[in-house]
Each structure stands twice: as C-alpha cells, then as structure tokens.
A and B are shown apart, each in its own frame.
Chain A
Amino acid sequence: MKRSWVFWLPVAVAIAMFATFLVALVRPSDRAIVSQLVGHALPAFEAPAAMPDQPGTNSRDYADGKPRLLNVFASWCGPCVAEIPVLLQLQAMGVEINGVAVHDKPEDLARFFAENGNPYARVGLDQGGRAQIAFGSAGVPETFIIDGKGRVVGQHIGVITEADIPDILAKLKGS
C-alpha cells in the first residue's frame, strides 16, 4: 500500500496547477480586449428574462436606432448598489438602460430592486456568466454605451458616479 500511485497524485496536481499558471502568465494581457470592443458591434449574447414582469435582453435588441446603455451587474455585488441611484437618475433623464445580471437568482434580484430601485427597461439573467464572457468584462459593475446601430461606442469599468453622467450623455448623443 505504501508504494501506491496515490502518493504521486499531489505531484500531478501541482504540475497541472503550475502549467496553468504558466499559460496564464505568458498569454497576452487581456486588459487590451476592453478597448478593442469599442467601435465594434455588440457581441452576440442571450440573457433570458430575470423578472416575471420585465423582458430579458439579447444582442438583437440593440440595432433599432435608439442609443442606450447596457449595464452588467449583480445583486451580490456591493458596488453595484452604489451605482443604482446614478442609473435611476440617467433613467429619469430619458436614457434607456438594459441590465444583465451575472450569476444571479430571480428572488435575490427582486429583493435587490425592492431595496434599491429598478432603473432597467429590460433585465436579462446571465447564468454561468456567458454574456459577461462575450462582453469581455472583467467584473461587475461594467457599463457599455451602445449606439443606434448596435455598436459599442464606450465602455465604463466599475461604478458609474455622478461625475460620469456628462461623458455618458455626450457619448450617447454623439452616436
């Protein structure tokens, strides 16, 4: 029993782990992807309805001539809460905002909206983070500014604050 192959398992696990680290290190940095999306069409994605009374959203919703925001968020994400008042303010200014909730549950979202308000015209559920992968977004919250042709004209990583509103409005108007 003592000379069993079991004792070589840790070696195999360690080799696999280090090989992964090596690949992750030598791959070109992904931070460049962020800016590459700007100027291109929104990648194809599908986020089915998360709330009973609101439609979900997918990539075909965005080429109807109306510029809007696509906000990637989650009910379990603290900074997302901080962003909601600003989104509500944008909504009040007539900006249409669609939400994609990452790794979320409808009941958690319902509570999240009840506590913080719901600034979204459509809320899609992104189970497994696939839409998030398609957007190349590294975390939540993240917001894309999309023109009437469905092209990404701007990307905001992290919380949107009051100070970002003029810039966002300018990008929406310019598109």
Chain B
Amino acid sequence: MPQVMLAEFGMAALWVAAALALLQFALGVAVLRQNRDDLARTIAPLAVAQAVLCGLAFLVLMVLFLWSDMSVLLVATNSHSEKPWLYKFAGTWGNHEGSMLLWVSILGVAGATIALFERALRADTKIATLTVQAAIALGFYVFLLFASNPFARIVGVTEGQGLNPLLQDPGLAFHPPTLYIGYVGMSAAFSFAIGALITRDVTPSFARAMRPWILGAWIFLTIGITAGSYWAYYELGWGGWWFWDPVENASLMPWLAATALFHSVTVLATRDALRTWTIMLSCVAFSMSMVGTFLVRSGILTSVHSFAVDPKRGIFILALLTIYIIGALVLFALRVGTISEGKRFEPVSREGLLVINNLLLSVILVVVMVGTLYPLALEAFTGQKISVGAPFFNATTGPLALALVAFMAVGPLLRWRHDEGRAVIRRLAVPLLVSALTMVAVYVFAGKASFLPAMGIVVAAGVAVASVAPLWKRNLARTPLFTWGMVIAHLGCAVSIAGMAADSAFMKEALVPMRVGDTRSIGDFRVTFEDVAQVPGPNYDALQATLRAETSNGDSMVLKPALHRFSTPAMVTNEAAIRTFWNGQLYVVLGDERPGNVWVVRMWWKPFVTLIWLGGIMIAGGGFLSLIGRVRRNVPGGKAKRRLAA
C-alpha cells in the first residue's frame, strides 16, 4: 500500500521544518546582535523553506484523513470511513493535533509572505520581524513534536470513532481555518511590533508597512466571527445568534483588540502620534489571539467547543504563552523609553475621536475578558463555580457598544489635528435629526420595546446616515478605495446593530404541541403541521416533519425541520428549517414526540435578523476594500508609477 510510509514522511517534514525555524531564529539573532550582515540574505529563503515543509506535513495529514488510514491514531480517533469526504477533509483540523498543525502551517505561510512580498519595511526591521516569527513557530514545533504528535501510529484498529455530529456541517469545515488565519495574522502584526522595538524603528513608515497585515488578520477574524455566529444560529436550533460562550468570547477579544489596533496604527501612519499605544496594542492583540487559542485548545473550558485533552498539553501551551507574551511585555516596558514621543493633537480632532474609539474598545475588551475569565479564576482559587452568562454581558457591553458606534460615526467627519466644535455639530445635524425622528417613530410604533434595543435602533439610524456622510459632495470616482472601505465597514456596523436591536425588540416566539393537521400562527404566518416521516441520511437517520406556512397575502411555503440521529458517536442533533424574507426569518425547530402523536414545535419570527450577518459581511468587505487600497499605495511601482506613465 502506498500510504504505508506517508505518516512517517509527514513527521520527517515537520522535524526538518522545526530545524529550519531554529536556524532562522539563530541566524536572525546573529545578524541583529553581531551585525553579521553577510548572513542577512539567508533569512528570507529559510522562512520560505520552513513554510513549504510545514505545509507539506499538513497536506500529508489531510491525505491520511481522506484515505481513512486507521493505522494513524489521530485518524482512528476522529474519523470514520463512512463519513462524507468533506468531513473527512475537514476532520483534518477538527481535532487538537490537526488544528495545532494547521496553526503552525498558517504561521509559516505568514512568515513566507512577509519574506517574499514585504518591501515597505526597513531591511533590519524585516529581519527582526522574521526572527520573532521563527521564535514563535519554534515553540509550536516543539509542542507538536513532543506533546502533540499528529502522526502517531496505532496497531489493530480497523474503524474510526467518528466526528462530533454537531461539527459535521459544511459551514463549520471552514470556520476554524478562517479564525486561525485571523489569530495567526495577529502574530505577524506582533512580530512587526517587536521587530520595530528591537531595531528602534517605530515610525509612520513602519506603521504603513504593518497596517495591511493587521487589516488582513482583522478581516479573517471578522469573517470567522460572523460565520461562527450564523453557524450557532442555524445549527444549535436555539434561535440565538450569540451565546457569550467562552470560546465565542475568545474570538471576540482578539477582534476588539485588532479593531483598536488598526485604528491606532492609522493614527501613527497618518499623523505620527500614538506610537507607544500602537506597540502596546500589538502586544495585546497577539496576547488575546494566543489566549484564544489556549482557551480552546487546553481543555480548560467546558462548552459546546470543548475538546477533551490531557492537562499536560494545556501546561505546555501555557508555558509558550508565558514566554512569548510576558517576554514581549517586558521588552516593551524596557524599550518604551526609546520610542520617542509622537506628534500632539487637540482633543477635538480625528485623532481625539480615534483615542475615544480605542478607549471604548479597550473597556469592552476588559469587560468581556473579566466576564470570561472571572468564573475561571474563582473556580481555580476557591473551587466555587459560578456562571456569568448572557445577562452580565448584554447589560455591560450593550451600552458601551452603542456609545462606540456613535463615536465611530462622528470620527470620520472630523479633521485631523484640530477641529471646531460648532462646525462638528453642524456636520452632525442631519444624523442627529434622523436619530431624533427614529426615536419618535420607535416611541409611537413600538412603545413597549425595552430600552437597550430601542436605543440600538435609534443609534443605528443616525450612525447609518453619518457613516455615508464622508462621501458627501465628493467626487465618487476619485474617492480612494480605503475611504470607500471605511464607509462600507462603518455602515456595516450600523446595519448589524439594527439587526440585533430589531431581533431583540420585535422577535416573536412560540412553543406549541402539534398534531398532524393542527394550525398555529406566529407573526404574520399560519403554520400547519402536515406530516412527519423517517428519512435515511448518509450517516444518520432523520425524523423529518413537513409544515406549511401561509402568509396573510396568500403566499405559501413548505418547511422541513428534522431530528438527526447519529450512530457513531451516538447523538441527536436538531436541524432547524429556516425561511428568509426581506424583513426577517421564519425559524422552525422540531422537538420531542409526546404521547398521542403530538409533536412539540418551536417557532420564531425573527424580524431583520439577517441584518446582523449582512452587517458582518459589510464590515469584512469594507476591510477588504481598505486593504486593497492600502496595498496598492504601498507597493512600489503600483499607483504612483502608473500615474507617472500616464
């Protein structure tokens, strides 16, 4: 059989990649400390070779999963030969070892990309950056090789144990890699920051080089969070879109830090201010990414995402975190004196607003962090268990988030350095008026809506108008891409908040026992329970109900919610039937059977709930436009040269 030696080959590739990372690190240190400039040219090729080998190891693992090679321990414990190929493929990273290998592979690719394409950075800072990247990669190679070997063999197994059915979903196949690219992308930003600290190069041009990396990582985090939220919404069958689960929070925290970071790096790039703060935030954003990986991967949390692992691994990852993060923060504290003070600015200015944005984001970050880690800390030191839960997070982050988006809308309407208070208020007149009118409308038409959702709608309306205001009286054809990006992303925030507010204010919900032939109404719909039947699936048995929903104007549609019973491992999952309309979603879940052929059916009418994810997509899309705009400016021979040629 050809695959006999394949696992060993993957293992060998991983070892060589680790050795190259060590070499890359050692040579980098030699170049930086002993000025061995003759060695400087070896660093970039090493980074590329390391990425290729690590990527190869990951591909080998993927092939082992696709072939269902049950002589590999990891495949035997996480896959099953009868599984559809997509889930075999996704199973590669649906487990601890595989996902750590993916993590390092992405890190390697990020390093290689810096080595090959980064031209805006000063040469010594680039070498320092790649040296830091090698140091991070090295720790994770050691972890994989000594504590988490993905290629270990097992004897005498012919069939696998299968993958958690909740994870058998096409959307989820791509959710972890997306988040990982975001997490690991933050490591690139971190390496830049540490590199610049080492070579004392914290300047606007450094900030311009670093910005696309932050933006790129942030886009992937945004997509990952949006997709994860939608996955939880349609797969868990609870009708909610965010549960403040610790693992969701673990992805939200780096996003908050990254959002603050790319706003502050913009201030550094454009106005040469906030130098120290930007470096500090780079460390925080990376720390949050690492803590996120740690929380998910160490088994310290129990949640929908829990992956049982032995505590030794957790301690190993914790040791790595401690070395990198505390090392970086100590370096920061020692070197902070060498960062010269940036330019000053007035409180009423775009910089001033960006500082407020950064402060609010930081406060939300701290609140989410405390809410996530406090139960953990309390349990660790006192053995007491508490659950913080959604009430705490909604009550604390809700108002802060509304204040944040309100300031977000104002910021782009201010001038850099200094602006007049009165002029600002004049520019804000239209958005304020829109908000005031919305407030009246909400009060008149939905007086019973609770305060926070009502305020959400009011703020979203004003923010939506203010977000597009930077385009006012501008030549749209000559407006730079990154301005478009900003406008679309800010508008996306308003859209998303409108969706959240509308859903929590006007959602309709019903839990009804139904017999075949029964009709119940929810929102504008009359839903009739028509049938329930057994339907065989690829690796499960489904119990599928057929319901017909009719609107008041005579439209009719069929909904088929189902229960899936998996055999390996034994588990039942709930498949919601969801119908999307321009103004919301009808969400129907089939519950348990009661004596006498009665079925419990749970129905929701969720007005404008889709705006939540549409907003998320707009935010990511805006980021993408900005990224293209920035990269085009950065690449020599890009726009500038074309302009000269013309």
Contact = CB atoms under 8 A, between A and B. Distances in A.
The answer to whether A and B belong to the same complex is yes
Interface of A: 2-3, 7-8, 10-11, 14-15, 17-18, 20-27, 30-31, 74, 76-79, 81-82, 84-86, 89, 102-103, 115-116, 128-129, 132-133, 136-140, 161-163
8 contacts: A21-B298, A27-B379, A30-B383, A82-B238, A85-B513, A136-B385, A138-B385, A162-B593
B602 A82 contact: yes
Interface stretch (B9-17, B264-272, B280-288): B280-288
B300 A25 contact: yes
Contact of B592 (A8, A22, A77, A162): A162
Given A25-B314, A85-B513, A20 B602 contact: no
Count chain A CB atoms within 10 A of each CB in B300, B333, B384, B388 and give the residue with the most.
B333
Contact of B318 (A15, A18, A84, A133): A18
B391 A24 contact: no
Contact of A14 (B280, B329, B373, B602): B329
A30 B321 contact: no
The 5 residue pairs across chains A and B that have the minimum distance between CB atoms:
A78-B238, A24-B380, A23-B380, A129-B386, A7-B333
A10 B283 contact: yes
A161 B574 CA distance: 13
Given A11-B326, A82-B591, A23 B381 contact: yes
A84 B318 CA distance: 41
B294 interface: yes
Contacts of A161: 592
Given A25-B298, A133-B385, A162-B594, A20 B373 contact: yes
Interface string B282-313: 01100100010010001010100000000100
A2 B387 contact: no
Contacts of B333: 7-8, 10-11
A64 B466 CA distance: 65
B336 to A, nearest CB: 5
B635 interface: no
Interface in B571-609: 591-594, 600, 602
Interface secondary structure of B, over-half rule = helix
B387 A140 contact: yes
B239 interface: yes
B509 A115 contact: yes
Nearest to A78: B238
A14 B326 CA distance: 7
Contacts of A23: 380-381
A20 B380 contact: yes
B511 A85 contact: yes
B52 interface: no
Given A30-B379, A82-B591, A76 B385 contact: no
A25 B311 contact: yes
A82 B339 CA distance: 57
A96 to B, nearest CB: 21
A81 B601 CA distance: 12
B569 interface: no
B572 to A, nearest CB: 9
B147 interface: no
Nearest to B325: A14
A71 to B, nearest CB: 16
Interface string B385-398: 11111111000000
Contacts of B389: 74, 76-77, 102-103
A73 B508 CA distance: 22
B376 interface: yes
A102 B387 CA distance: 9
A128 B386 contact: yes
Contacts of A26: 311, 315
A20 B591 CA distance: 41
Contacts of B330: 11
Interface string B356-397: 000000000000000001001101110111111111100000
Given A76-B389, A161-B592, 17 more contacts: A2-B337, A2-B341, A8-B333, A11-B329, A14-B325, A17-B291, A21-B294, A21-B300, A25-B315, A30-B383, A103-B387, A103-B388, A103-B389, A129-B385, A133-B385, A138-B302, A139-B387
Contacts of A22: 315, 318
Contacts of A136: 385
A24 B315 contact: no
Nearest to A139: B387
B600 A85 contact: yes
Contacts of A14: 287, 322, 325-326, 329
B337 A10 contact: no
B387 A10 contact: no
A76 B380 contact: no
Nearest to B287: A14
Given A2-B337, A18-B318, A76-B390, A81 B511 contact: yes
B240 interface: yes
Contact of B384 (A25, A133, A163): A133
B332 interface: yes
Nearest to B388: A103
A129 to B, nearest CB: 4
A18 B315 contact: no
B515 to A, nearest CB: 14
Interface string B338-359: 0101000000000000000000
B244 to A, nearest CB: 10
B592 A86 contact: yes
Given A18-B318, A20-B380, A102-B387, A10 B591 contact: no
